[in-house]
């Protein structure tokens, strides 16, 4: 790997900003928090939540569930705006250029912060130090699936296929790519990655036999699994998800491949602390509602509703951890490094 310096810079910067936010929360004001407009937020003006993916995926569904609940609490319209491209990086860059008023937010995918930087050049990587974090939201496990007709329903079957395995990913620099690259690297299975733009086309490719297997977020694959259209091989969670108890994890089969997707709500850097506090309070109310709890259950999502500083620490640690395992196993994440 040649990107260690850039990655470590982001780790250090993220930790430093995390300390700054902690100090601010204990008494200081961030970005002019004493301003009367911040105290009166949202002041009757609507709020927009960016999603860096097409409609219908897990991140989009989460954003819409949050928007519905927050709109009631804030008393203004909260709308979702889809801005797909570069695994969410295009939306993230646009968010960083918005005014820090709290009226433009984004449901941010963790993989963009702690996996994509391992696959792209430093100047193309998104740095979470450039944003405020309002709240963590949830985590989603990846599952390795195949079409039942493939006959490749276990890791042993993949090992004994007698040919290279093609695996679909949800894009370069995603958890889907990293999980499978680590698994095949550790098992010694000769394989070729086939990147798609999101979970839906990856799912379609597996169902249609365009690729042998694919790693997809559990919430996006569970319907086809329950219908018998997909066979789960392993999950990439540390422990078996409650939603898929009969499927082993790669970890329990002896492979160092715990990879999860995580999501949080971000705001432009410099958003006043009173605004961040008001938004977090609103989202906490959404989290506590019966309808949102049912939404999590229906979509196989594990709550991770921690505050901004805690979420920043988690994602910064993930970046460092994944950097180490990529180097340890000699994984080439591709892209322009």
Query: Where among 244, 277, 296 does a domain terminate?
Result: 244
Name the pLDDT band for 162 (thresholds 50, 70, 90): very high
pLDDT 10s digits, 117-136: 999 888 889 999 999 999 99
pLDDT 10s digits, 267-277: 999 999 999 99
Same-domain pairing of 72 and 194: no
From first CA to last CA, the distance across the chain in angstroms is 8
Same-domain pairing of 68 and 28: yes
- Of 27-36, 81-90, 195-204, 297-306, which gets the smallest average pLDDT? 27-36
- What global pTM score does this model have? 0.82
Across 152-169, average pLDDT? 96
Name the pLDDT band for 74 (thresholds 50, 70, 90): very high
Among left, alpha and beta (phi > 0; psi -120 to 50; other), residue 178 is alpha
Contact yes or no for 52/64 (Cβ under 8 A): no
Across 318-332, average pLDDT? 90
Same-domain pairing of 8 and 135: yes
Domain assignment present for residue 58? The answer is: yes
Nearest-CA neighbor of 305 among 93, 85, 69?
69
Contact yes or no for 250/186 (Cβ under 8 A): no
pLDDT 10s digits, 106-117: 999 999 999 999
Across 65-84, average pLDDT? 97
CATH number for 150: 3.40.190.10
CATH number for 322: 3.40.190.150
Structure tokens that stand for 304 in this block = 């991770």
Same-domain pairing of 188 and 47: no
How many structural domains does the chain have? Answer: 2
CA distances from 245 to 31, 179, 236, 241, 249 (A): 46, 19, 13, 6, 10
pLDDT score of 1 more than 70:
no
pLDDT 10s digits, 13-57: 443 444 343 444 444 444 444 456 677 999 999 999 999 988 888
Q: How far apart are CA 78 and CA 105, in angstroms?
A: 10
Predicted local confidence at residue 333, as pLDDT: 85
Predicted local confidence at residue 35, as pLDDT: 59
* Domain range enclosing 51: 4-139+262-328
């Amino acid at each position: 790997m040649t990107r260690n310096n850039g990655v470590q810079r982001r780790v250090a910067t993220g930790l430093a900003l995390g300390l700054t936010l902690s100090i601010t929360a204990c008494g200081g004001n961030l970005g002019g928090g004493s301003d009367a407009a911040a105290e009166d937020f949202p002041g009757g003006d609507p709020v927009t939540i960016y999603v860096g993916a097409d409609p219908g995926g897990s991140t989009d569904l989460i954003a819409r569930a949050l928007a519905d609940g927050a709109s009631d609490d804030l008393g203004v319209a909260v709308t979702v705006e889809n801005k797909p491209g570069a695994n969410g990086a295009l939306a993230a860059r646009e968010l960083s250029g918005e005014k820090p008023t709290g009226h433009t937010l984004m449901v941010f995918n963790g993989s963009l912060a702690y996996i994509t930087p391992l696959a792209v050049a430093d100047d193309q990587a998104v740095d979470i130090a450039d944003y405020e974090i309002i709240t963590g939201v949830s985590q989603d496990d990846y599952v390795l699936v195949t079409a039942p007709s493939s006959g490749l329903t276990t890791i042993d079957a993949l090992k004994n296929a007698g040919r290279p395995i093609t695996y679909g990913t949800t894009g370069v620099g995603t958890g889907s790519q990293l999980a499978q690259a680590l698994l095949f690297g550790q098992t010694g299975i000769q394989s070729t990655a086939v990147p798609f733009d999101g979970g839906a086309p990856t799912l379609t490719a597996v169902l249609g036999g365009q690729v042998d297997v694919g790693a997809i977020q559990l919430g996006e694959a569970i319907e086809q699994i329950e219908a018998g259209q997909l066979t789960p091989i392993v999950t990439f969670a540390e422990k078996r998800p409650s939603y898929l108890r009969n499927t082993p994890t790669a970890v329990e089969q002896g492979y160092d491949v715990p990879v999860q997707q995580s999501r949080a709500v971000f705001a432009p850097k410099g958003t006043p602390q009173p605004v961040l506090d008001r938004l977090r309070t609103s989202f906490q109310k959404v989290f506590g509602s019966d309808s949102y709890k049912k939404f999590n259950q229906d979509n196989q999502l594990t709550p991770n509703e921690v505050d901004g500083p805690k979420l920043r620490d988690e994602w910064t640690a993930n970046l460092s951890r994944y950097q180490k395992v990529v180097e340890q196993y000699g994984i080439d994440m591709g892209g322009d490094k």
